[in-house]
Every structure is written in C-alpha cells, then in structure tokens.
Amino acid sequence: MLFALLISLSLWSPTAAEEGPCDRLRAQAEQIDTAYRKLRQRFESGQLKPEKYAHRLNKLRKKERKIHQKARDCTFEDQETYNYWYRGRLKFPTLVQQELDRLEREKKE
C-alpha cells in the first residue's frame, strides 16, 4: 500500500488548473509573443494591409499591458520568474511595442 502511494506521488505533477493566477501570466505573455510572430509573418507575406496589421498590434499591446499590470501586482518567490518579469519583460520594450514604435517612425518619414 505504501509502495503504491509513493509511486502515485512520484507521477503527480501540478497542472495549469492548480497554478495561481500569477503563475499563468508567463504563459499568457508568451502566447502574445507567438501571436505577434504569426501576425508579423502574415503582414510580411502580404496577407495583411498595414492598417489592419497596426490595429491588431494595438489589440495585442492592450492585452500585454493588462498582463504586465497583473505581473506588477504579483509577488514572485521564484528567482527565475522574478528575473523574467523584472529584469526582462517589464524592463524593456516588448516585441509588440518595438514593432508599433517602428511603424510610427515609418509613418512620420
């Protein structure tokens, strides 16, 4: 009986449903990065007009800002997660923001 319990515990791993809201933020942020890459690929291949591309980038940026605000409200115990947010993602412009900035500069030229 004890052996079966030990085996079942060794196979157990936490799932996304058992994670708290702060733990899920990184996955959400990475989903935005993936969506951005797909969007950029469609734009570069000519499948999206510049106006539509900018509109969708702004929607992604809005979602990104919400995630970043939630991350600022979290306390991250894990050093790796803390560094991801405070020494990386929140400290520097994201891919989406950099692309929006680039489009704005091109519009002014």
| Mean pLDDT score, 39-61 | 95
Per the domain annotation, does 32 fall within a domain? Answer: yes
In which domain, by residue range, is 70 found?
Answer: 25-108
Count: domains in the chain: 1
Backbone angles phi, psi at 48, to 5 degrees: -125, 140
- Closest of 71, 93, 91 to residue 81, by C-alpha: 71
16 located within any domain: no
Q: Check residue 7 and give its pLDDT.
A: 45
Give the integer Cα–Cα distance in Å for 54 and 99.
9
- pLDDT tens per residue across span 55-92: 999 999 999 999 999 999 888 888 888 888 888 888 88
The DSSP code for 47 is S
Q: pTM for the full model?
A: 0.74
Residue 66 located in a structural domain = yes
Residue 10 included in any domain? no
Task: Decide if 84 is inside a domain.
Answer: yes
Among 11-20, 23-32, 97-106, the minimum mean pLDDT is found in: 11-20
